[in-house]
Every structure is written in structure tokens, then in C-alpha cells.
Chains A and B, each alone.
Chain A
Amino acid sequence: MMRIDCPHCGPRGQVEFSYERTLDSVVTLDMEPAVAVARLYARTNPRGLDDELWRHGLGCRQWLVLRRHRVTHAIESVAAFDPAVHR
């Protein structure tokens, strides 16, 4: 079980969090259908670091962005989701 250092609550076990999706697969309503389809179904899925959207559902219930390694599961950073930065 991973340990996630929530910026609001401190380090907590993975069971408190839920994975939503990678940041590059967030689809907003104003996107062209082709773009939306590409983001939903043709994701990059890198063998390495990726930015992921998580929610601390059994804690502060805030949305977080984890920069996490797909192979080692090492978490490089955890930040509060900020639409100005992350969208």
C-alpha cells in the first residue's frame, strides 16, 4: 500500500485516497469531440513518471495531483489540484 503525503493532512495510507485519472485525460466541455476522444481513449501511458488526479476521499476530500512513477510507484510530489496550474 502506497503512502501519500497529502498537502492538507500529512502522510496517509493509500486506502484513504481514490485514483481518478491521469491529468492529461481530463476532458472539459469546451473541447472538440476529436480532442476529447483522444484524451479519453488514446492516452500516453508512459513507462515512467506521470501526473495523476487523486482525491483524498476519506480525509480532507480535496483533489490532489500526484507525480508518480508508473513502474516503481515512487511519488515525486503531491500538490493540491489548482485549475490555474493543472488545466
Chain B
Amino acid sequence: MSGPARIGDRDGETLRFIFDGVPMRARPGDTLAAALLANGVGLVARSFKYHRPRGIMAAGVEEPNALVTVGEGGRTEPNTRATDLFVYDGLVASSQNRWPSLGFDMGAVNGLVARFLSAGFYYKTFFGPPSRWMVYEKVIRRAAGLGKAPTEADPDRYQHRSAFCDVLVVGGGPAGLVAAMEAAQAGERVLLVEQDRELGGSALRDDIHLPVTAAGLEKAGVRILTRTTASGLWDHSFVTLNERLVEPGQRPEAGRPAQRLRHVRAGRIVLATGAIERPLTFAGNDRPGVMLSQAVRTYVHRFGVLPGRRVVIATNNDDAYLTAEAITVAGGEVVAILDARTAVAASRFPVFTDAVPLATRGTRHHLTAVEARVGEVVRRFDADLLAMSGGFTPVVHLHSQAGGKLDWRADLQAFVPGASLQAVTSVGSAAGEIHPIAASAANLPDPKHSFVDFQNDVTVADVDLAWREGYRSVEHLKRYTTLGMATDQGKTSNMAALARLAAVAGVEIPEAGLTTFRPPFTPITLGALAGADGGGHAAPTRCLALHDHHQRHDPLWQPLGYWFRPRAYPVNGETLHEAALREARAVRTSAGIVDVSTLAKFAVAGPDAAAFLEMVCATGVAKLAVGRGRYTFMLREDGMVMDDGTVWRLDEQRYLLTSSTGGVDRMEAHLSYAHRVLAPQLRVSVVAQQEHFAGIALAGPLAVEILQALIGMLPPAHMGVARAEIAGVAVMILAASYSGERAFEVYAEGMSAGPVWDALEGETRRRGGCPYGLEALEFLRIEKGHIVIGAEADGRTTPHDLRLERMLRKSGGFIGRSALDRPALTTADRLQLVGLVAPDAAIPEGSMLLVKAGSPPVGHVTSAAGRVLGGGAVALGLLRGGRERQSEALIASSPTRGQHVRVTVVDPVFYDVEGTRYRD
């Protein structure tokens, strides 16, 4: 077609839009596809692999060819179906996968080397030498593709909403409207959703009156959402709806979201999702000017666009005759109807029976002729439009997602919804109320140019090749040929491919099988899935009770668990490392304070509190004296260290258990499970108190002096408990050391802890100390050889692996105890905790431990730091049979960073081995 194709005058074309830089006009209500056809545009896109010229094939969301990029800047949306995009004033769209232009595309050269890009090409390249694959990958990535993702941030907002209804009706065609009205009249709360902008479905295409109007439905209480796609049907009648408030690329009104994702829990679901017409398979069936028959009818009736003036119709069913009527009424000429069936009813059109199209002729913009087999002869028909109908595929996606069975209907050559596991029923075309068809003929003269999956450029030859190469299962065929894996998920292609597979296999289609229908039904922008939870709102920002006190010193912040904690407090332009080293040295030489509020804290109380703790903790607890505490750790049922912390006996029947920040939820659930499921007879209460108390650790040789000055008495001995007041605030003092220096953890209620911090900071600074952050804390604990959950205790290490076995309680059972005796947990070649030292170079964290260059790894570095005082690097690592490899020389190797450092295996304590500094 060359001229404009609007039926009647063009006065109604009041919207301006631009396609590939050319200004055009559209009528309100036009899709971009309708507007392009109205403007005489035949060539709209280039195909994925071969850059073949493509036009518009369909009129709905199933469109495989006419993908465009729409919008500008961060609002750019690639791969938008021109048939699923309503033109708005100012719309800017462009074609994709072409260079330098759509008309003259260098990539079309791929068409000449098409044989190198056949089915499984990508996989086959894996079998050659890797160097070959690297070359191919570059070529493929440059040559094949669709639209490009925008690089700017999406400026739009997206909302999530929940909804409930008795009946959810999906699809606003005649069947859906009737179902909605019936349910509403029966007194049910009804929600009706339609992906189109208008209700009507097939009635818009066939120009017939609706049995029920939107106004009538609303009067009956039906809630209607148009431009809303039911994208997924999940468990227990849970449906996700994707509602577009603006068209792709369109700027929403100020303050309004672009899209809403609705989560609907429905009592029952009625699927009136219609059916999708199938293309026929013949050479050049992808040429611009070859369209689906029902799509042609839609453009004529709904949009007032006649996509061709001399039309050949190819069909295997009665429905296409309606298209012939529509074309004639609109002023077009039906050159021929090629009907694959041998006997058809009389018609006023030139009908040829036992006739199928073989090939098309034309330019890259237009169709000029159709070659067809009519009986035993080949005939040529001059035409500018070929309307094809290969039958109809009920849209069973949601039914299938809900776990519903599919039944094969030979008369329709289609799967229809069978029994459903959920309260899901299908009605109308979706239930198989469609035209029967004649089964397709298997003989194709030119399979290499007969397309099955238009969007992924899969031909009949590819399907045949996959079969010859041994791909029998339809799931394998799909992956090998990429059939049905494009953005349209094979809406127009799957049945044609199945038919071909069944034909070469010599089986019926149901025996060939069917691939899985997965959500979403049509592509969803990631913004809609994220909703308001994007960017800084991806997770809640949880601030420490003392956040403002830290902020005064403008620290570097670090997320830890749910929390933001100071990583270091740089001054005078220090780097992170310089600041942390200064802070750690202050702790070693004078004193430092650190916020440890985020540690998990559990109040465990009751007559059986000790018994409960001994069940959870792998160390002794019951013998702990009142006012004393000790280090403890907990095991999983498989004997691996789960978490560690301290346990303090505050009273005869009252304990405080601390554990790691990051493991707090896991520990809370574990304690609840241990109590409520394993030992409900124990009289104990467990209360999670993590956020109730702020904790400040004071550490260093001057810690005793500082604390004494504040509380006016001698601080508790190592691992002792004391109660006192600091700055008028009641505090509990636990004398525990993590840094290796004399240290105290000072706890106060979170909301009143500010003055305590200020007082401690003041006294500490007066003596040359300072606050320190997580980085300095790491330096200090690594030097002391303390393990961390997630680094050394990585979920695969036993107490023995971590050199904690001497602390294991000998008597009584605890969770994980019996698992420790399993043979595999006691072998000598397990990964065991070791210390590593290097004289000068830093040891790369996470690096492999090698006996010599090129040998297989025997372990890895879990934590690394420099010595706080003096030079040299230290690290902790897990080394195979490490406990017996003292003094061995190894290489800590990180090929990705190009770092290879000679290290020596030592005991995992690098500072104050005798432990004299932290004791009183």
C-alpha cells in the first residue's frame, strides 16, 4: 500500500505524533499501529536475528512484529507493541534494531548469513574453542536484539493497591460483560478488568452491538478497570492486575502515578480472555502486508483504516469470510479467498478451495503478489494485502497458571480449558467457542523462509533441524530454537510450532506436549513491580537511638543488618582506612567508645530459664553465678555454629542473652521454635529486646579509669555485671571485651541513652581517646582472632573447625549436640580456622589459599587487616586440616584482583596471646 488508508475523510486526525522523525497525525482512539497504517506506513520494524523487514500483523497484544521504542529520556519504553499503544498528542516512537535506518539496514546482511544463525547456533558455539565463542558472542550481541533499555532513571511513580471481590471477570468482551452482569445481578461484588482502553473485545472488531453497556454494568454495581491487564493468576485466587494510567512514554498528570499494580483476592474468577488468531505458515509470511484476518477486520471496523485495497484472504475456517465482507464494504477488493478446505458454502467472493498460500512477493515496504497452490496448480494473485487465518487459540494462560488442565479439541486444533484446581471458569472464545478449522497441510516448499515464531525469527526449518538433532520434548525444542521465548511469549507461534513438531514426529499435537504458561501475560515494567519501594525505599532505613549523636561527627555510615552504623569518624580529610587505624590505635593505647546497640538481646526469665538456655547454647550456662556472664555460641541441628554472643545471669531466674546483629530474626525464630515446639513444658519467657536498649562499648587501657570517673565506683571485674548511673541515667554495665582491651558494654534505655554517650565521649576524649566505628572494630577483633558470624562461622563450620570445642558443654543435651558425632564432622581434613601473617603486603580478603602457584585451593581468607600497632598484615582463614599446618608457607591468591601474597600459617591470635590486657 502506498497512499493513506483512512476510510472516508481524515478530518478527525487531530493528534500529532512522530514516527522515526516523521510527523504524522492520528485520530483519538487510534493505536499507533492503526495510525501508522492510516498514514500508509508498511515497514515498521526489523526482525530480531535476520533484520527482515516487518510490518504490522495483529491488532492486539499478541503482535509479534511491530515493536517500537516510545517516549524520551527515563520515560523511554522499548519493545512496546504498536498495537497496544494508544496515540496521544506528542507521542514520539521509533523503530528498533536497525542501522543506519529502517529502510536501509546494514544488519539485514545477517539475512545473507542466516544459515549461521540457525536453531541452536548459540549453544553450538560453546563446543568450539572458547576463543571462537568470544568472537561469536560479540557478533551476535551486536547483530541480534530488540530495543535498548533506557539508561536514565525512570521519573515516574508506581503504586501498589489491594482489592477484594466475590467475582473477578477478566476480559471485557461480550462473554465477560454478560458474566459480570449476571454476577452483579446475583448480588456479588464484581470487578471487571479489560486490557484494552475500551470495553467490547470482539464486538469492536465485528462491529456488533454489545449485549451489556458499561453504564449498565456500573449501575448494577460492577467496578470496571480498563487498560488493566490480569498479568498473573497465583495461588488461592490471588491475581495481579497491571493498570496503566498513562500510555507508554506518556507523562502522567502531576502527582499521579504512571501505573498501578493491584493485588486482588477474588472469591471466584471468570476468564473471558478470548482467543488469538494464528498465522499460516508459508514462505515470506512475515512480509509487511501479511496480516491476521481478524486484525484486518479490526482496523476496518474499529479504527476506520483499510490496510489494503487488493486483498487475498487465506483461511482454513469460516471466520475469514467476515473479513472479506468488511473489506468490500470499506471499498477494498477481495481478489481471492484461498480456502484450505475442499468443500465450502457458496459465497459471493472468488473462492478457491483446496488452496493454500506458498509464497509472497513484494518490496521491503509492501506486498505485491501472493503465490498459491490451488488444487494441483500454482497461481499468482496480485495483491497489496494478504489476510490470513490459521485458526484460533483460546487464551488459556491464566487458567493454566492456576494449575488448570487443558483439553485437546481436534475440531479446533486447539487446547481449551479443562478442569481447574481453583474457582476459575472460562467463558466465550477462551472456553473454545470458536470456529472449527481444517488441519494444516505439512508440505512447505521453502521452510527456511516460513516463519513460525516471528519475534524470535524461528522458521519451520529450525523446528525441523531441532528434531533432526534429537530434540524431542517440546520444552527442549523451545530452549534450543528459542521458540516462544520472545517478549510475546509465543502468543501467535506456539500452536504452529507444535503442529510442525507433531507432524515431523508423526504424532498428534497433544502427544507433542505443551510448554508452561508463565506470568506475566504481557510484559510489565519493573517500576510497577517495585511500586513505591524503589531507590532509597527498597528497605526501611533504621537509625540507631544515638544516630544524631554520631551524625554530629559526620561519620561514614555502613548498613549492617537492618541498621545504619558508623563505619568510621574521619577528621581532617582522612581516608576510611586512616580514620579507622587512628581509632583502633586509640583503643589499644588509651580508650575508645563504639555504638553496639544493634546486638540482638533476649531477656530469658523463669524457673526453667537455665534449662532453656542450656538447650539452645552449646556452652555451660546453669553454673553461671548471679552477676556473671560468659561467651556462648549456638548450633544448628546439623552441628554447625549458627550464632554466638554472651549470656549473663542477672538474677536467680533471669538471664540476658546477646547474639549477632545480622542474625536477630533467625535467632528470635529459633528461640521461639526451641521453646514452643521442642520444649513447651519449660516455664520460661523469652522477650526480644534488641531495640529497647542502646549499648555503648568502652574499651582501652584507660576504660576502667573513665568509667570509674563517671559512676563513682570501681567497675565490675571481667565478665561481671554492675548497675549504676551515668549522667543521671540508669545503666547496666557488662564487663565484656571484644577488642582485646579492658572493656565494658554500657546499656541504657534507648530513648534516654544520649546523655550517657555524651558523658562517655567527653571523658574518653579528655584522655586522648575517641569514638570508633565498625572498621576499627574489625581491625581489633581480627587481631584478637575473634570469629564473626557470616565470615569465619559461614554455616559450614563446627565448633571444632572454629577451635571452640573446649567450650562445648560435656553434660546434657543441646541443639546440634548429637550431630557433632557424625563421621564427616570429625575428619582431619576439614576446613579449620587458622591465623595468617604476612610481613608487609596486605592479605587480600576472600582470596584462595594455595600451596604453590597454580595448585588447587586448600582454603580461603575470611577476614584480613593490618596490625593496629606496628607493621605487617594479619588474617583469619579457613584451611583444609589447618590445625595441623602450623608454620606452613602458603600463597593467598586473588586472580580477579591480581594479588598474590605469601603468608604463613599461625595460631589465630595475633595480639596479647596470653590474654592479660582485657582481664582486671
Contacts and interface: CB of A to CB of B under 8 A. Distances in A.
A10 interface: no
Nearest to B814: A29
Nearest to A30: B813
Nearest to A62: B676
A6 to B, nearest CB: 14
A61 B678 contact: no
Contact of A55 (B263, B638, B669, B815): B669
Nearest to B638: A40
Given A33-B821, A57-B669, A63-B677, A1 B421 contact: no
Contacts of B680: 83
Contacts, number: 67
Nearest to A75: B236
Q: Would you call the interface of chain A mostly helix, strand, loop, or mixed?
A: loop
A85 to B, nearest CB: 12
Contact of B236 (A3, A40, A61): A3
Contacts of B638: 40
B637 A40 contact: yes
Contacts of A36: 637, 818-819
Given A36-B637, A37-B822, A63-B677, A29 B421 contact: no
Interface in B676-693: 676-678, 680-681
Q: Which size class do B's interface residues fall under? A: 20 to 34
B574 to A, nearest CB: 43
Interface string B798-829: 00000000000000011101110110000000
A66 interface: no
A38 interface: no
A53 B677 contact: yes
Contacts of A62: 676
Contact of B677 (A26, A37, A73, A74): A26
Given A33-B821, A37-B822, A81 B813 contact: no
A33 B818 contact: yes
Interface string B757-792: 000000000000000000000000000000000000
Nearest to A25: B637
Contacts of B813: 29-30
A77 interface: no
B881 interface: no
A53 B672 CA distance: 13
A26 B235 contact: no
B136 interface: no
Interface residues of A, number: 31
B910 interface: no
B238 interface: yes
A28 B821 CA distance: 16
Contacts of A2: 235-236, 238
A3 B265 contact: yes
Contacts of A45: none
Nearest to B421: A72
Contacts of B234: 1
B669 A26 contact: no
B672 A33 contact: no
A44 interface: no
A22 B403 CA distance: 23
B419 to A, nearest CB: 11
A53 B759 CA distance: 49
A37 B638 CA distance: 9
Interface in A31-85: 31, 33, 36-37, 40, 53, 55, 57, 61-63, 71-75, 81, 83
A36 B235 CA distance: 33
Interface of B: 234-238, 263, 265, 403, 421, 615, 637-638, 669, 672-673, 676-678, 680-681, 813-815, 817-819, 821-822
Given A72-B421, A83-B680, 15 more contacts: A1-B236, A1-B263, A29-B615, A29-B814, A30-B813, A33-B819, A33-B821, A36-B637, A55-B669, A55-B672, A63-B676, A72-B403, A73-B235, A74-B421, A81-B676
Chain A to chain B: the 10 pairs with minimum beta-carbon distance, closest first: A29-B813, A33-B818, A3-B236, A2-B235, A73-B235, A72-B421, A1-B238, A83-B680, A2-B236, A63-B676
19 contacts: A1-B234, A2-B236, A3-B238, A3-B265, A13-B265, A26-B677, A29-B615, A29-B814, A29-B817, A36-B637, A36-B819, A37-B822, A55-B669, A55-B672, A57-B669, A62-B676, A72-B403, A81-B676, A81-B677
